[in-house]
Structures are given as C-alpha cells and as structure tokens.
Amino acid sequence: MHIMVDISDDTNVVWRRPEVTGVVRRRQWSDEAKGRIVAEAIAPRAVIAEVARRHDLAPQQLSNWIRAAKDGRFALPAEETPSFVPVVVEPARANRAAHERCSAFIEIIIDAIKVRVPDGANSRDVEAVLRAVRRSAV
C-alpha cells in the first residue's frame, strides 16, 4: 500500500486516500493438500492449467509441485481402496543361482527393505508395492 502526499503551492499538506497497487498474498499449503492437488493434476486426461485455475494457483507452481512429488519431497494420497499385488510362486529349480544371474530385474532399496522388480512387471503393481513399503518405513 502506498500513501500519496501532495504539497500544493500554498504549502498546505493534502492527504489522499491510500492506493492499493496490487494484491499481495502468500498462502501456506500443507503437504497433504499439495498431494491431493497434484494427484488431480496427473490423473488421466487432466489439464494442469485447469486444475491450477480451480485451486487458484499459477500453472508453474503446480508444475513445480508435480516435480517435487516425483522427487519424493511429499507423497500423493493413498488410493481409496487397497490394492493387492498378486503373488507368483515359481517351481523349485535345480540351479537357482544360474537362473538369478540370467534374469533381469531392478533392485530398489528403501531403508532396510529391498524390493526386486522383475523384467516385465506391471507398473501399477510395482507402484502399489512401493507405496506400501514407503508407508511402512515411516
């Protein structure tokens, strides 16, 4: 807010109404609220600009939150219904060590928990497992 003071020719001070030059506000968003908004923005067929407008955000700010969520700085809300990952039981192999050397997998370590993701695993199943591991590690 700026207050303007005019001094007229007869040296009398004339006060004018305060002038508001712009809206200044700074809101604090909880990580939970950010997570809900980001989940809405990354849903299939969602448009970031529309989601940002609904929540009175700049699209750039929402994009920064999406990047932060991908970097693990805050978590997205858990799904309403629990997801279960199918368990596949392999038959016993004579030479298990040789088989493990040949099969491709990704190993993800979170604290003391090690998750091995085999080649061709369903991404939704992997995501459900990692969410469960992350919740249990907290």
CA 31 vs CA 70, 73, 75, 114: distances in Å = 13, 9, 8, 27
Listed by start position, the domains of the chain span: 101-138
pLDDT of residue 2: 55
Mean pLDDT by 10 residues, the chain (138 residues): 55 62 74 90 90 93 91 76 62 58 72 80 82 72
pLDDT of residue 21: 66
Q: For residues 34 and 76, what is the distance between their CA atoms, to the nearest angstrom? A: 8
Q: For residues 11 and 69, what is the distance between their CA atoms, to the nearest angstrom? A: 60
pLDDT of residue 62: 93
Pairing relation of β-strands 5-7 and 13-15? antiparallel
pLDDT of residue 24: 61
Other Cβ atoms less than 10 A from the Cβ of 70: the count is 11
Closest to 125 measured CA to CA, from 87, 85, 70: 85
Which residues sit opposite 118 in a β-bridge?
105
| pTM greater than 0.75 (yes/no) | no
